[in-house]
């Protein structure tokens, strides 16, 4: 029997180092580099500032450590990655400095599994080394949650595929060296059998970025990182189809589950950061002759936040543990991934709102990071599929383990159950020790 909530002392030492390094070296980057693409764009000034930090991380054996040793990582698995991410998520630069940033980490997994040797040499190695960026593009302007509505398609023409259509919100497309794009290859089949993933190199004729959207109200329109892309007779070699034709969703599964868990892991860091701010503030501010911390309505906010964060964190770690245990994403693993994905925006909303509220006017000003955290919550409910879709996955899986009642009254109908129980134990109620009629 093993059931353990402890971190071994050797890894705890690493976590302590990561905490100090993140607070002292990485978090200041957020205050200097504020363009939407800064953490990911290899050509940004931030990339130069990050380079020595990445070197230090590599020297300490903590670079891309969720990836297996065969690809140059440490093979730490998801639980250790969760413990790291709940520190790294304090900064938007954290994952990039440690080589575990989305969408590159998931794209590397796809390339490792399905890329040709030539593609691996050209793209996988520099991607894993953090030298280039990549993009994963599936969503279309008219369709996101429901892939059956996708229309961007490819037709085979000799040794090439010809792609026509549009893609939307393709993160990092403008500075990605290559894009992994989900395209319909057989429109007569259901989408889960009729779509494939293509590797499309940046600069391929026929691929055009129409504009770049940003999340949030950025003053300069168009400098966001989410590309609106049009493909017009865009030709890609047949070898750029990853995996089997029609297996796009199978290939995508290699990355989507991981991505969803990683958002939740990083959200734990955001929650802890908001909680720290909330606690410091209520211990510092006096109102009506006493600290805010001494008011019971404040204490309720602290207690509720603490409990929600702990519940969420344990759920995230449990899910990470399940992935490590079962490796492939089976039904149970998918259920938990969907559950924490759907829980993420709700817990962020509750805790960050309380933290902002307890800071009063300062909380919603641009002088503390809370408003920024608040502005990032909605994307957690939509990115990698909206909460509704994940809740449907959870509910369907939960319901599979239950059956309808055989009778008009439920199995837990008290009079029926009591009658059976009386037959078993009722005689203890009688002096003579015989079962009593329950009629």
Say which residues have a Cβ less than 8 Å from residue 424's Cβ, sequence separation at least 6.
Answer: none
Write down the H helix ranges in 144-209: 191-194
267 versus 298: smaller Cβ distance to ligand FAD: 267
Classify each residue of 86-117 as buried b or exposed e, where b means 16 or more C-beta atoms within 10 Å of its C-beta. Answer: bbbbbbbbbbbbbbbbbbbbbbbbbbbebbee
Binding mask 103-142 for ligand FAD (x = CB under 6 A): x--------------------------------xxxx---
**396 forms part of the interface with ligand FAD (CB under 6 A):** no
74 versus 223: smaller Cβ distance to ligand FAD: 223
Distance, CA of 423 to CA of 64 (rounded, Å): 63
**256 forms part of the interface with ligand FAD (CB under 6 A):** no
Among residue numbers 199 through 228, which ones bind ligand FAD (CB under 6 A)?
Answer: 215, 226
Q: For the chain, what is the largest distance between any 2 Cα atoms, rounded to a whole number of angstroms?
A: 94
Distance, CA of 81 to CA of 14 (rounded, Å): 12
Question: Minimum distance from CB of 169 to ligand FAD (Å)?
Answer: 4
134 versus 298: smaller Cβ distance to ligand FAD: 134
Q: Which helix or strand (DSSP H or E) is residue 233 part of?
A: strand 226-237
Give Rg (Cα) of the chain: 26
Q: Three-state DSSP class for 4?
A: coil
Stretch that binds ligand FAD, among 7-15, 25-33, 245-253, 376-384 (CB under 6 A): 376-384
70: left (phi over 0), alpha (psi -120 to 50) or beta: alpha
Of 87, 111, 124, 170, the residue at the interface with ligand FAD (CB under 6 A) is 170
Q: Which two tokens stand for residue 113?
A: 């599994």
- Applying CB under 6 A, the site for ligand FAD has a residue count of 20
Cα angle 430, 434, 435; round to 5: 90
**196 forms part of the interface with ligand FAD (CB under 6 A):** no
212 versus 298: smaller Cβ distance to ligand FAD: 212
Of 384, 390, 393, 394, the residue at the interface with ligand FAD (CB under 6 A) is 384
Stretch that binds ligand FAD, among 30-38, 59-67, 166-174, 308-316 (CB under 6 A): 166-174
**389 forms part of the interface with ligand FAD (CB under 6 A):** yes
79 versus 102: smaller Cβ distance to ligand FAD: 102
Q: In Å, how far are 39, 125, 147, 348 from 36, measured between CA atoms?
A: 8, 26, 28, 21
Of 36, 39, 144, 165, the residue at the interface with ligand FAD (CB under 6 A) is 144
Residue nearest to ligand FAD (CB): 144
C-alpha dihedral over 383, 389, 390, 396, to 10 degrees?
-170
| Chain residues in the site for ligand FAD (CB under 6 A) | 103, 136-139, 144-145, 169-171, 215, 226, 379, 382-386, 388-389
């Amino acid at each position: 029997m093993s059931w353990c909530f402890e971190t071994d002392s050797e890894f705890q030492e690493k976590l302590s180092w990561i905490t100090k390094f993140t607070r002292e070296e990485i978090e200041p980057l957020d205050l200097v580099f504020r363009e939407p693409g800064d953490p990911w764009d290899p050509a940004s000034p931030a990339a130069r500032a990050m380079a020595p930090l990445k070197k230090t991380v590599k020297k300490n054996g903590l670079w891309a450590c969720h990836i297996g040793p065969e690809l140059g990582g440490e093979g730490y698995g998801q639980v250790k990655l969760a413990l790291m991410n709940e520190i790294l998520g304090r900064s938007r630069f954290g994952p990039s400095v440690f080589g575990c940033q989305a969408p590159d980490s998931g794209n590397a997994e796809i390339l490792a599994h399905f890329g040709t040797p030539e593609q691996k040499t050209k793209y996988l190695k520099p991607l894993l080394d953090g030298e280039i960026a990549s993009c994963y593009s599936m969503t279309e302007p008219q369709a996101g949650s429901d892939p059956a509505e996708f229309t961007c398609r490819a037709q085979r023409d000799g040794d090439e595929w010809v792609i026509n259509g549009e893609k939307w919100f393709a993160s990092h497309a403008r500075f990605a060296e290559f894009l992994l794009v989900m395209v319909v290859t057989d429109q007569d089949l259901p989408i889960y059998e009729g779509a494939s993933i293509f590797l499309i190199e940046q600069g391929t004729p026929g691929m055009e970025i129409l504009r770049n959207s940003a999340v949030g109200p950025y003053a300069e329109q168009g400098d966001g990182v989410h590309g609106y892309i049009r493909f017009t007779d865009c030709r890609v070699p047949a070898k750029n189809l990853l995996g089997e034709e029609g297996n796009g969703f199978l290939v995508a599964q290699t990355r989507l589950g991981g991505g969803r868990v990683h958002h939740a892991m990083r959200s734990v860091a955001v929650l802890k950061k908001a909680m720290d701010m909330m606690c410091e503030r209520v211990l510092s501010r006096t109102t009506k002759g006493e600290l805010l911390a001494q008011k019971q309505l404040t204490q309720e906010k602290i207690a509720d936040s603490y409990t929600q964060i702990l519940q969420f964190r344990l759920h995230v770690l449990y899910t990470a543990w399940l992935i490590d245990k079962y490796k492939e994403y089976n039904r149970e693993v998918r259920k938990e991934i969907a559950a924490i994905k759907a829980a993420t925006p709700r817990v962020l909303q509750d805790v960050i709102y309380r933290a902002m509220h307890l800071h009063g006017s300062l909380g919603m000003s641009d002088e503390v990071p809370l408003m920024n955290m608040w502005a990032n919550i909605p994307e957690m409910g939509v990115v990698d599929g909206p909460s509704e879709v994940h809740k449907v996955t959870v509910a369907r899986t939960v319901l599979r383990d239950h059956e309808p009642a055989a009778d008009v009254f439920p199995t837990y109908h008290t009079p029926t159950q009591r009658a059976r129980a009386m037959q078993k134990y009722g005689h203890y109620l009688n002096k003579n020790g015989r079962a009593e009629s329950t009629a």
